[in-house]
Structures are given as C-alpha cells and as structure tokens.
Amino acid sequence: MFKYHKLIVIVLLGIVFFLPFFSAQNFSPATDEIAHLPSGYSYWKTGQIVLNPEHPPLVKLMASFPLLFMDLKFDSNDPNLIGPIRNEWSFGSKFLFSNDIGRLLLWGRLSVMFLSVLLGFYIYKWASELFNYQAGILALFLYAFMPVMVANAQFVTTDLPLASFSFVTFYYLWKFSRTNHKKYLVFSGCFLGLALGSKFSATVFLPVIALFVFIYAWQRGREFNTRMRQLVNLALIVAIPAFVVVYFSYLMPIDSGFYLKGLKSVYANWKPGYNFYLNGNFSSSGWWYYFLEAFVIKTPIPALLAFIVSIAFYKRSRMNNWDRVLVFLPMLFFAFVTSIKAHDISVRYLIPAIPFLILYTGGGLSETFRHFDSSDSRTGISIFRNLKASIKIVPILILALAVWYIFSAVSIYPDYLAYFNEFVGGSKNGYKYLDDSNIEWGQDLKRLGKYQASNPGTKVIYSWRNSNPKYYGVKDLLIVDDSGWWREPKGRYAINTFLLIRLQLLSKQKNDPALNWLALYEPVDRIGQSFFVYDF
C-alpha cells in the first residue's frame, strides 16, 4: 500500500489544495471576508492598521497582497476608513462590490489554501518522523478529507492560518527537544510570530511554550545560576524572532503597546445579551460542552472511530515524554481554554487543536495495524490468535471506513461548512443543532441568484446586512419588519438558514407564532444548506 508513498503524499496534498479551491468558486464572500480582505488592502495602501483591529493583520496582508497588482477602485478618503467613526464593514462592502469581486476573492483566498497545504505537509512530516511514513500518510489522509478543515481553507479567515502556524511552531520545538539544535528554536520563534500575527487566540499557546522552555532549561543544569542562564538564553532565542515577525506584520508601529491594544479590542464590538444556539435552544451564557458536541457531530464518524482506536493504543505508542507533552498539551490546553473562554458560535474556534489530534491518530492507527500483523515473540502465536476469523475481515473493514470517510467529503461538496455526520441525520438536519458559521455564513448569494433566475418571482429574506445580494442579481428582498407580511405569505420565498433559526427566538420574544416558519411549514426546496425555500 505504501510502496509509492511519495506519490501518495503528492496526491493527498493536491486534494488538500484543490478541494477548497474548486469549492470556493461557488461562493460569494463569507461575512468575515467582507472585513478581512479590504482591511488588508487598506493596510498596504495607507501604511496604517486602523480597520478591523480585533484581529492581527498578517492573514489580511497575505490575502490582499495579490490585489496590489490589480487596477482597483480604492477610495482613500472614505469616511469609513479615515473618519472619526470607522466602519470596516461598510468600507469593505463598498470596496469589494465596486470591483470585480469574483477576481478579488479568487486571489485573496489562495493564501489560506496554500497555508492549508503547508499544514498538511507538516502533519505528514511530523507524523513520519515521530512514528513512520505510514503514520504520516494516514494522518495526511485524515486531514485531507476533514470537512471542517476544508471548509475553513476556502475563505479569508484567521482560524486555519492560526492552526497552520501554531502547529509548525510546536513541530520545531519538538525537533529541538530531539536534537538540541538551537536553529530549531529560531524556526519555532518565527512561526510563533506568524501565529501571533494571525489571531490573538495564539496567545493561548504561550503558557505551553513557556512551560516547555522552563522545564527543558531546568533539566539541563545542576546549579541555579546555570539553569537561569539556560532559561534566559532559550527564552530569548524563541521570543526575539517572534517579536520581530509580529512587529513587521504590524508594519513597524511606533507605539510599543500595539499588540496589547489589539488584544484588548477583541470582542469590543460584541453585542451584550446575544443568544447562542445549540440543539434547538438559545442561551446568553452558552454551554460548557458546546465545542465538544460541535466537534463530535461535525466530524465524520470514521474519523471519530480512528481517534478512539488510536487512543485505545496509547500505552503501546513509542512516544517519549517530550513527544507526549508537545503533541497533547497544546491540543488539550487550547481546547480547554476555547471551551471556557470562546463564544459558543462555531466549531472553527477549535480548529488549531485538531491537527495535533490528527497527528497522533496517524501514529495510533499505524501502531494498531502493526499489532494486527505482529506475533507474540514469546509464543510465536499471533496476538489475536483467538480472533482469526475477525482478523480476516479487518482489511475489509478498514477499506469500508476509508471509503465512507472519502464519501463524507465528496458527497457534501461544496457545502463543507454545513457538514454534519450521521449521528444527527446528516447535513440536512444540521440546523436543528448549530447555527452561524457552522452552517451558513452569508456565502451563498451566487447560487441564490441562479436559483431566482430559474424561479422568477421568488422573494428573498436575507439577514447578512454587510453583503450585497443585488450584485448577484438577487431581487425582491424582504425584511422582517412591522408590516407583518409573514403572517399571510403568498408565493415562493427563499430565507437564509441563520435567520430562519433565529426567527424561533424572535417568535418567542414577540409572542408571534407566525414568525416560526421552521415549526409551521415544510420547505419545498433547499439552496445548498444556506436557504430554505417555501411555496405558499
């Protein structure tokens, strides 16, 4: 199976790139892209980082870099950019929709897709070096068809870049733990800077890195002074490159507190009293198990089984203590902090923890297969001698799970954002459990425009205010206002899923059952997973 493993790796990395590449061609801008891509372009053009300060600039700069070579309409005097009250959403919408937005999105999204490939390569590389090349291929296979990773590789957002840069950061820490070559600490520091320049939640990894440096330095000396010198030296080797990268990603600011100011702006615009959604219920405080459940129901069942099997073989793993620390601690700590601190909006906040799980699973599966094929050295009898009949079906079972896993990714194309597994009845039932960017992010105006052209007279109710449906030929737009048109609807309506879910809450708040279309009516059609279509 692994005779041509290099060719297999190339094919899998090609899938990592081309699945989101072709999928992304179907979509209008997701909501966050309306702020991210134009903000990055404004940084290049003005040399100042004033829009979208709640996210570091690196990903936005990378995504917008190809746009510098295009002749674009850019209003440097836009009040939303230079006025006393700046509005990244209004500026972004005006910039995108006054240019060829399809071209801008195509080039802007490429950077995130390339970072997805980078992450896939390092997953293979680390698993191969930590375990064996079979483990590398198995881990890369799991990564290539993971819907949540594909979904977030196709938009200009920060979660997948953070996952990529932070994973490589810990890979080079691991290389240093194995070799004691300080060049790997420098590399780790550089990628740490890239992670910090991508998203503020990268700071969650800082205590883990600090703990590693402290323990490693403490074990390398007997006297206190020697240990402290070692600690300071190692810390500076990581910290200096990280700071330099962050400093340049912020375009060399004069203000020494530039990063802390950005960090304080996170959630600054958050609306108090917002109600989160899970399992058909709304809550302003959320649920401690939100991200765990979201991960379980949005991950293909074969992958979940692979995770469980690999964990079952944990004690047989040939990992040393540092291996375990650098694989499990970042994953568990990030998942823990995310669960208690992040808003219950989307499973994408958990993405930086997933590559570590995939890495270990590749090794765990490889170890599992090895034990199925091995024999007891003391008796010469197969370890599973009492399960001979079962062993014969193991290859068939593995093949069936692999086909099932691939089918999970292929069948949902291009709606990876809305993937849900069979535990909840598949993607068609996802709206009953989660909302927001777990399902629909305002990205389906292209298909809506085509649907409306084929079904004239379809009225549209669309809730993502910063986009521009008319750009895609969408017309007959309605809003949920005081006119009460929804009480006696006539004709055909297309309503976006996020709004449809939220109307359940609005129905209760206004004591108006007529607003709850999910409870009252059955849709006659769906546009991807983004729009329900009703005919009256």
Q: What is the pLDDT of residues 211-234, one digit of tens each?
A: 999 999 988 877 888 889 999 999
Domain boundary among 310, 326, 350: 350
> Is 524 within the bounds of a domain?
yes
User: What does the pLDDT read at residue 3?
Assistant: 62
User: How confident is the model at residue 375, as a pLDDT?
Assistant: 46
108 and 216 in one domain? yes
pLDDT at 74: 96
Question: Tokens at residue 133, please?
Answer: 């090349």
| Selection from 140, 199, 192 nearest residue 167 by Cα | 192
The reply to whether the predicted model has a pTM over 0.85 is yes
Instruction: Encode pLDDT of 24-50 as tens digits.
Output: 999 999 999 999 999 999 999 999 999
Q: Do 190 and 92 fall into the same domain?
A: yes
Instruction: Name the domain boundary from 330, 350, 370.
Output: 350
Q: 3-state class of 532 per DSSP?
A: strand
Domain boundary among 305, 321, 350: 350
* Host domain of residue 70: 5-262+288-350
What's the structural domain count of the chain? 2
The answer to whether residue 275 sits within a structural domain is no
> pLDDT tens for residues 106-123?
999 999 999 999 999 999
Residues 104 and 244 in one domain: yes
More confident residue, 356 or 220: 356
Are 329 and 441 found together in one domain?
A: no
| pLDDT > 50? residue 378 | no
Is the residue at 280 inside a domain? no
* Residue 382, pLDDT score: 47
- What is the reported pLDDT for 387? 46
Reference 491, options 528, 460, 531, 513; nearest CA is: 460
Q: Are strands 531-535 and 492-496 parallel, antiparallel or unpaired?
A: antiparallel
Query: Are 174 and 71 contained in the same domain?
Result: yes
DSSP for 136-159 reads: HHHHHHHHHT-HHHHHHTSSS-SH
Q: Are residues 60 and 182 in the same domain?
A: yes
pLDDT in tens, 158-178: 999 999 999 999 999 999 999
Residue 428 placed within a domain:
no
Judge if 336 and 458 occupy the same domain: no
CB 446 within 8 A of CB 302: no
Do 322 and 471 share a domain, yes or no?
A: no
| Helix or strand holding residue 477 (H, E) | strand 477-478
Residues 524 and 533: beta-carbon distance below 8 Å: yes
Percent of the chain with pLDDT over 70: 95
Q: State the average pLDDT for the chain.
A: 92
Q: 473 and 342 in one domain?
A: no
Cis amide linkage into residue 456, ω under 30° from 0? no
Look at residue 195 and tell me if it is in a domain.
yes
> 308 and 441 share a domain?
no
399: in domain: no
- CA distances from residue 527 to 15, 148, 378, 531 in whole angstroms, order as listed: 25, 20, 61, 5
Domain match, 333 and 462 both:
no
Q: Answer yes or no: is 91 within a domain.
A: yes
| 357 belongs to a structural domain | no
Amino acid letter, residue 143:
Y
Please name the residues in contact with 498: beta carbons below 8 A apart, sequence gap of 6 or more.
Answer: 435, 436, 439, 440, 442, 463, 464
| Whether residue 342 is found in the same domain as residue 441 | no
